[in-house]
Amino acid sequence: MKLIRFGDQGNEQPGVLKDGKRLDTSEFGEDFDQHFYGTDGPARLAQWLEAHESACPIVSDEARLGAPIASPSKIICIGLNYAAHARESGLDIPTTPIIFAKATSAICGPYDDVIIPKNSTKTDWEVELAIVIGKKASYVSEENALDHVAGYVLHNDVSERAFQLEHGGQWVKGKSCDTFAPLGPWVATKDEIKDPNDLRLWLKINGEMLQDSTTADFVFNTQHLVSYLSQYMSLLPGDIISTGTPSGVGLGFDPPRYLKPGDVMELGIDGLGVSKQTAVAYKG
Ligand code: ZN
85 alpha carbon – ligand 1 mean position (Å): 10
Confidence of residue 3 (pLDDT cuts 50, 70, 90): very high
88 alpha carbon – ligand 1 mean position (Å): 14
Q: What is the pLDDT of residues 24-41, one digit of tens each?
A: 999 999 999 999 999 999
140 alpha carbon – ligand 1 mean position (Å): 24
pLDDT of residue 39: 98
Confidence of residue 20 (pLDDT cuts 50, 70, 90): very high
86 alpha carbon – ligand 1 mean position (Å): 11
121 alpha carbon – ligand 1 mean position (Å): 18
| Burial class (CB within 10 angstroms; exposed 0-12, middle 13-18, buried 19+) of 273 | buried
Task: Examine the pLDDT at 87 and tell me if it is beyond 90.
Answer: no
Q: Mean pLDDT across the stretch 152-178?
A: 97
Q: Mean pLDDT across the stretch 246-251?
A: 96
56 alpha carbon – ligand 1 mean position (Å): 37
| Burial class (CB within 10 angstroms; exposed 0-12, middle 13-18, buried 19+) of 165 | middle
Rounded to an integer, what distance in angstroms lies between the CA atom of residue 114 and that of residue 103? 15
Q: Mean pLDDT across the stretch 155-176?
A: 97
By three-state DSSP, how is residue 173 classified? helix
19 alpha carbon – ligand 1 mean position (Å): 31
Rounded to an integer, what distance in angstroms lies between the CA atom of residue 219 and that of residue 82? 6
The model scores a pTM over 0.85: yes
Task: Examine the pLDDT at 220 and tell me if it is beyond 90.
Answer: yes
pLDDT of residue 284: 82
Q: Mean pLDDT across the stretch 165-180?
A: 97
Domains of the chain plus CATH, in order, are: 2-65 (no CATH), 69-281 (3.90.850.10)
